[in-house]
Chains A and B, each alone.
Chain A
């Protein structure tokens, strides 16, 4: 017999009353654009994010999503009162939306970070820089992925 919503709710309610709160953990299948914007809001808060200053270097077409080279650089004089505080990189469709947060300082010399990332699908990658005056700047790039990463079966 299929469980109706009403039965399920009353069961859940009963369990709560008995002191055992049911914990349901849902494993998201992929970061939806909503998760992407939520992850970005988590970092920038209510501040506006302007396009510019940030350069995101990533191949537009990758055969293997398991190692995608990526470089983010920010145009900044890197002086004691005008520098890049941090760089945050996000993806749109991996199982979770964060890629990395990188923290810099006035003596970084050059506001540039390179790493290798995984992409589970053809999607958009967004890099956001936080400057010392707490303004946010972004760049986005679309990447076509032929072989997906992250969720493949283990052999």
Chain B
């Protein structure tokens, strides 16, 4: 699935940087009914993880109250050049990953 990742490509060591992620997902709550009364089954992303050069720096448990196409923004300290890896896990075996790299001077 498509994900939009916003990480500064360059930072100075020790800078506080913002990471913004947006992924496309319906986030069906499981509380809605179709016009003929059938319950629409739940289909949501339940977990998001961000790793920075292999170390987990941010994790989130998501529930039905998170809007469709989950957006998350959080912060971290730029330590070393390297890679951010993002992982979304959800219902029905849903799994999606993305990555972004940063140069730290």
Contacts and interface: CB of A to CB of B under 8 A. Distances in A.
* B contact residues, range: 20 to 34
B35 interface: yes
A154 B65 contact: no
A24 B61 CA distance: 27
A52 interface: no
Nearest to A99: B65
Contacts, number: 108
B63 A99 contact: yes
Nearest to A30: B31
Interface in B13-43: 16-17, 29, 31-35, 40
Given A105-B57, A151-B32, A154-B35, A100 B71 contact: no
B4 interface: no
A154 B75 CA distance: 36
Interface string A124-155: 00000000000000000000000001111111
Interface of A: 27, 66-68, 91, 94-96, 98-105, 107-119, 149-155
